[in-house]
C-alpha cells in the first residue's frame, strides 16, 4: 500500500505533496524532525489530506498529477 498525502506548514501555510510506503504518522514525524530537505525549513507540518493506493504506479501517477498546475487547482478545489 502506498499513500499520497498533502501537508500544510503551520509556519507559512504552504502545501507539500508527497508519497510514502511508510505509515503516515511515521512519515509526518520525519518531516517535522527536519529529515526531509524540502520541508525542514517550514516545520511543523500537519496532514491536510491523504489517500492510500493498492498500486504504487497509480499512487506515483496521482502524486505527479497533484504537483502540476492543474493538480494544484484540483486539490485546492476538491481535496483541501
- pLDDT in single tens digits along all 80 residues of the chain: 999 999 999 999 999 999 999 998 999 999 999 999 999 999 999 999 999 999 999 999 999 999 999 999 999 999 98
The torsion angle over the Cα atoms of residues 24, 6, 53 and 59, rounded to 10 degrees, is -120
Name, in order, each residue with C-beta under 8 angstroms of 12's C-beta and a sequence gap of 6 or more: 42
Grid coordinates of 72 = 494544484
Structural domain tally of the chain?
A: 1
pTM, two decimals, is 0.92
Dihedral pair phi/psi, residue 71, rounded to 5°: -65, -35
- Domain that residue 73 falls in: 2-79
CATH of the domain at 38: 3.40.1440.10
Task: List residues bridging with 53 in a β-sheet.
Answer: 2
How confident is the model at residue 51, as a pLDDT? 96
Q: Which ranges in 1-80 belong to alpha helices (H)?
A: 24-32, 56-66, 69-74
Amino acid at each position: 500500500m502506498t499513500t499520497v498525502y498533502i501537508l500544510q506548514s503551520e509556519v507559512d501555510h504552504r502545501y507539500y505533496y508527497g508519497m510514502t510506503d511508510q505509515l503516515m504518522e511515521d512519515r509526518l514525524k520525519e518531516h517535522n524532525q527536519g529529515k526531509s530537505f524540502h520541508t525542514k525549513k517550514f516545520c511543523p507540518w500537519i496532514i491536510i489530506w491523504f489517500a492510500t493506493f493498492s498500486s504504487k504506479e497509480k499512487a506515483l501517477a496521482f502524486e505527479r498529477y497533484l504537483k502540476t498546475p492543474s493538480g494544484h487547482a484540483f486539490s485546492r478545489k476538491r481535496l483541501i
